[in-house]
Structure 1
């Protein structure tokens, strides 16, 4: 199943941009994900292809019109549904030609469903149901629609994982003074922010969001555990990293990391991750303190308040 990213932007030439290189670029070439752009100006109704107008009540700047943006969003929803249907059909065909069986394991007997004429649920040759990554009917035809805006909820790693596990995402890039609020009243759109600062438009935020999602797609990072211990995966920050040379400008790699004692290394990493989180991100530490903690070693345990 190809993860499809649709971006509604007044500047389609900004995509894929940096996502056309490195891991994301390789994944794009391998069709692990697809990048499509939609320019809202295509849905404008005047000869100037206007998408904005002056703010109601007065004020500086311009506001993106609800009618124009809604028309672009509706088009994106329809196109996403068609792409998911097509990708799902291709995945079914591919599995049917490989290890999907349309009969259950009945020890050589003809399956009851086949005798009764009822459709048989597809199964892999080992009896398992095809997973979401196989691209069959367990995926919805719809994908979340996100609007990049400083008025949105902060983007989190947990939300990124949810998006990456689905069929794709539609991202609306804000510009000017933002969107006519009626757009969000009339359509199911999630407002998202990547931080407490202002950019010239939502395109950079969209690139950030997509990069975070793409690296989590199957086969993109290589080993499935590559990102397990990274910052935010377990609420707290990641532990410090070191590599060769062992001594650099008089600074030496901590002895415990050179000891070969995996239990001590795991304990040191957990301690440093917690210490750095307390000092640098007290907001994360507060969320972490009373919740079950996943240590860098992967062991689940109750966190104890050391303060």
Structure 2
């Protein structure tokens, strides 16, 4: 798996590659990451990559030509050659070009799982007021958003996707099955995860829930499931509704939900 990132600030990615658990994915070669700076493909003494928007208005817009040259270099480095025809007609081994943008589909766990089993992508990190729309129309295959807010650039969004994908690679986490107990995972029926506790057993007069100290596996798992149901009902009822629609909420779950609702209205 290989991700190529087109960014004006490649230095932002260095700490991510050199520290933390997901570093293993890149150090081992499970995920290959290559950084490309459009400024290296710009013309003139100043290597200009942006200009004022037509029609006026604040800010600057990233120019299409340096981005295209950078994209072509990344594709050539991957062994993807232009196959003729339209500007974005690339041979069958090509990977998608992704732009992080407010109009994109919000990134969710199911999409991360698909990316984790893919061959990667070319990620474009916009800056300033955005990118010349003609480049987007001709060369971007997919747009992704992290949510309804605006960042100063696409680098943080790219790091979020890379981190989420890297941690799902085999051998990256200390416990290979731990990600299956993450929030949104199908193993948890798409629900939010339950609370977690560690030593000491009592902290600031707050004890660990007795069920977790019981040593009874079935009791512990029931407590965790009940808390997942409760937390999801409180914070993300849409996830609970989706799980119920898929037939994933059983009688014991409904009993836990009823108890939670009764406690909430009392």
- Normalising by the smaller structure, the TM-score range is 0.7 to 0.9
Instruction: Report whether the alignment pairs 1:5 with 2:18.
Output: no
Equivalent residues, number: 243
TM-score w.r.t. structure 2 length? 0.82
Q: Deviations over 1:6-61 (max 9, x none)?
A: 11001111223223202122332222222211111222233322222222322111
Higher helix share: 2
Q: 1:63 — aligned with what?
A: 61
2:155 is aligned to 203
Is the 2:99–2:140 Cα contact (8 Å) retained in structure 1?
no
Alignment of 1:1-307 (within 5 A): 3-81=1-79, 141-234=93-186, 235-293=190-248
Moved over 6 A (4+): 300-303
TM-score by length of 1: 0.72
Partner of 1:115: none
Give the 3-state SS of the residue equivalent to 1:238 in structure 2. coil
What is the rounded CA distance, in whole Å, between the counterparts of 1:11 and 1:65 in structure 2?
Answer: 16
The gaps in structure 1 that reach 5 residues or longer are 83-139
CA distance in 2, matches of 1:303, 1:74: 53
Provide the C-alpha distance between the structure 2 equivalents of 1:53 and 1:157, rounded to a whole number of angstroms: 37
Give the 3-state SS of the residue equivalent to 1:37 in structure 2.
Answer: strand
Aligned mates of 1:27, 1:143 — CA distance in 2: 20
CA pair 301-219 structure 1, distance change in 2 beyond 3 A: farther
3-state DSSP class of the match of 2:137? helix
Q: Helix, strand or coil: the match of 1:50? A: coil
**Aligned counterparts of 1:184 and 1:151: Cα–Cα separation in 2:** 12
Alignment deviations for residues 206-243 of structure 1 (CA, whole Å, 9 cap, x no partner): 11111111111121114331110111113221111111
DSSP-derived class of the 1:240 partner? coil
How far does residue 76 in structure 1 lie from its aligned partner after superposition?
A: 1.9
Partner of 1:102: none
Greater Rg, structure 1 or structure 2? Answer: 1
CA distance in 2 between counterparts of 1:223 and 1:144 reads 31
Q: Is the 8 A contact 2:97 2:139 kept in 1?
A: no
RMSD between aligned alpha carbons?
Answer: 2.5
